[in-house]
Structure 1
């Protein structure tokens, strides 16, 4: 640990370490705040990474149906569900993704969301599942908003923002200086105790920093505050795509929830069209002539999606209300196959059809990054790589806690000792402040810590030189 500064040293020399000490304290406390979130996000992320395998392994009686030449139409499947669950509200239909797979309905009944699985060959109900309290739904909701809604989303965003700040500042703090990079580029395996843990923490953090930054940045695009602002600024579509389309006043992103992803990130900012209840009975003069037209069949929506080349794996959201639309959405493993279609529930007209070709450069980059983040773009290899990143994050977090625990003074938090040998420490502080401006929630918390330090009299009394 560095010795105390000489009392005869000029005030200018004493001030710099004092201010650096303040910033180091912010860094340390932020790390304690971030660690539990990083562990939670990593564990739930691993569960969601292997969703296809886990679903088939845990629920084979629901997910699988022996293939047969005979098939039951989507309308017949819907009639079965309506017969077995009278009065239920239909939310979504997912056609079979392939041979030997079941079809799925999502319904709301008595305040509960249920996943219903139907054999598309025999027209029988395979079983039901609580849509909010199954392994994947719980993992995804914890990952998105801690199961506490907007507050949880903001806490996740705050933790991710501080995670980015800590990775960047950690790279600066541990960047190899001098002729011996041991302990940073590789661990000193002969070491024992806290020194070995410190080396393992630094080495895994150093080599995994770019992967961690990738995971944090791609995850930030889905957050409710920063992600929404980022999407609004960079994700644009030609307004002419909706010139002649009635709009509901909502965005397509309203179909998404923390429990389930329906439309892609790029399509979230597109307008959600509205159906015209009287279009089929409107005369040439434009006057309403009679009651609302009947709704088109579910099978017609399926046929339209198939005819337009939408790959299986898509979902169909049912219209909500008289002006609602059928929404066909494919959030594909390969983002080039993404599709978002909205159909008038009465006429069957396709009101909007958004594809990869309509995405801008930023949207394409984000969609590709998200697919890598979720382990979907390159199959099992992508899943394994992202799982290893999650394990690296868990190890880095746990090793940081071990280092802190081993060196903390009894009864105190034990802020790590200062390093006064760091060149250009003011530059590092400037980078931290700049990142705080880019990620406003992290920046606001930085200001809050500054205010608390000042109110508690912890700020250095010496005036900083410029």
Structure 2
């Protein structure tokens, strides 16, 4: 084997080590929370059966009757969202902001009886989603998750280079040597799992990155574009649809996040120059009329209706469908019931379509149980890869040290490798910045050790 390859192997191992040590705890957390959120459709009706499941009746009450029941039960509360029943055996749900809390309130659609409430931010799925997206610490958590996902991509690329057979037989490369013991077995589990899961892991990392606050927002700004003509005849606010999404709750599809929120215009004509956004909402269109619009326009069941919060606000009907081809986002004037915007799959750009498909595959929703099982397998492979990597490190770690792989002094600058790292650093700016910092720290540590030896 030529010297440059040997040397670069050493460098790749060193960077793989650094990336792994940083990324592993995040990957373990993301895999566990991902598994919980993956099985949300099965877990929710099981855990909250008395709230979510009802006996099918003959006649459903109107949305306005259900809304009146909720307002009677929460006289000081503000109703922010309504989710019609998914099917004949499911309850209706309202999101109520009451006394500083966000509550999911469930109502029997046949009797209009309030079945109970659930804390919107402190239930299992909301916690799993918030941990998965931003570690439940807001912007700092979002950036850390983005950094970990970016370094995860570096980990996959460097790991594939380290795994490359270079003349070895298939044992320990394509399948683990189960007869081996100790560190060799852990190494095989780590390398083989990483190889077989690499393509799916890259898909998971890249599709997940589209939701991040820095890289994801830049990506959306670049690719999430709709023809200007779609919004030409509609008065627009300075609010974007992304404001309807939060860490614990998804309302509008990813492709719609950068679109402007329209303005309910009929009332604005009589209001002169008053700040309409500061006046309270006073809809003249009933909630049932908005639900009828959704039915008439054949919006996929599972949609939500977000109520206006100001005098110029709109009703927003949105479904982030399991099959993105059924995505729909409609904005309805709160005074006239006019549909101001109706955006569907066919309006998305090719990149937005590909991204939405990637997100749905990521969440295990595209092909039902099969998709869930594949993503579960990927999450288990991530757990095995992360744990085996940490075990390998722990077994070889010297007392009182990190056990960083030694750097050879005759290491040439290998052009292709440096190029790959530069491309990854530019593609993912947070990774690029941290690479420069790590290179500086690493250089100082190496120089200090050389001085100590001298």
Structure 2 length normalisation: TM-score? 0.92
State which of 40, 44, 62 in structure 2 corresponds to 1:73: 62
Q: Please report how far the alpha carbon of residue 428 of structure 1 lies from its aligned counterpart in structure 2 after TM superposition.
A: 2.5
Tell me, yes or no, if the aligned pair for 2:4 and 2:414 is still in contact at 8 Å.
Answer: no
Check if 1:396 corresponds to 2:385: yes
Q: 1:391 to 1:424 in 2, by over 3 A?
A: farther
Check if 1:384 corresponds to 2:363: no
Q: 1:397 to 1:70 in 2, by over 3 A?
A: same
Q: Please report how far the alpha carbon of residue 447 of structure 1 lies from its aligned counterpart in structure 2 after TM superposition.
A: 0.7
Equivalent in the alignment of 2:435: 446
State which of 319, 336, 357 in structure 2 corresponds to 1:347: 336
d(CA) in 1 for partners of 2:3, 2:441: 22
Task: Specify the structure having the higher radius of gyration (Cα).
Answer: 1
Q: 1:203 to 1:86 in 2, by over 3 A?
A: same
Equivalent in the alignment of 1:137: 126
Equivalent in the alignment of 1:263: 252
Map 1:361-376 → 2, pairs under 5 A: 361-376=350-365
Tell me, yes or no, if the aligned pair for 1:277 and 1:323 is still in contact at 8 Å.
Answer: no
Q: Please report how far the alpha carbon of residue 78 of structure 1 lies from its aligned counterpart in structure 2 after TM superposition.
A: 0.5
Q: 1:197 to 1:104 in 2, by over 3 A?
A: same
Equivalent in the alignment of 2:275: none
Matched residue of 2:301: which SS? Answer: coil
Check if 1:248 corresponds to 2:259: no
Q: 1:414 to 1:294 in 2, by over 3 A?
A: closer
Q: Please report how far the alpha carbon of residue 454 of structure 1 lies from its aligned counterpart in structure 2 after TM superposition.
A: 3.9
Q: 1:56 to 1:105 in 2, by over 3 A?
A: same
Check if 1:126 corresponds to 2:131: no
Tell me which moved more, 410-419 or 324-333: 410-419
State which of 187, 192, 203 in structure 2 corresponds to 1:198: 187
d(CA) in 1 for partners of 2:283, 2:112: 25
Q: Please report how far the alpha carbon of residue 450 of structure 1 lies from its aligned counterpart in structure 2 after TM superposition.
A: 1.8
Check if 1:310 corresponds to 2:299: yes
Equivalent in the alignment of 1:4: none
Q: Please report how far the alpha carbon of residue 244 of structure 1 lies from its aligned counterpart in structure 2 after TM superposition.
A: 1.2
State which of 80, 83, 91 in structure 2 corresponds to 1:102: 91
Q: Please report how far the alpha carbon of residue 430 of structure 1 lies from its aligned counterpart in structure 2 after TM superposition.
A: 2.3
Equivalent in the alignment of 2:276: none
Matched residue of 2:312: which SS? Answer: coil
Q: 1:413 to 1:51 in 2, by over 3 A?
A: same
RMSD: 2.6
Equivalent in the alignment of 2:201: 212
Please, which runs of 5 or more residues in structure 1 have no aligned partner? Answer: 1-12, 284-290, 462-466
Q: Please report how far the alpha carbon of residue 138 of structure 1 lies from its aligned counterpart in structure 2 after TM superposition.
A: 0.2
Map 1:329-340 → 2, pairs under 5 A: 329-340=318-329
Could you give the per-residue CA deviations for residues 219-256 of structure 1, whole angstroms, max 9, x where no partner exists?
01111111111111112100110001111111111100
Equivalent in the alignment of 1:407: 396
Q: Please report how far the alpha carbon of residue 348 of structure 1 lies from its aligned counterpart in structure 2 after TM superposition.
A: 1.0
Tell me, yes or no, if the aligned pair for 1:262 and 1:331 is still in contact at 8 Å.
Answer: yes
Matched residue of 2:117: which SS? Answer: strand
Please, which runs of 5 or more residues in structure 2 have no aligned partner? Answer: 273-279
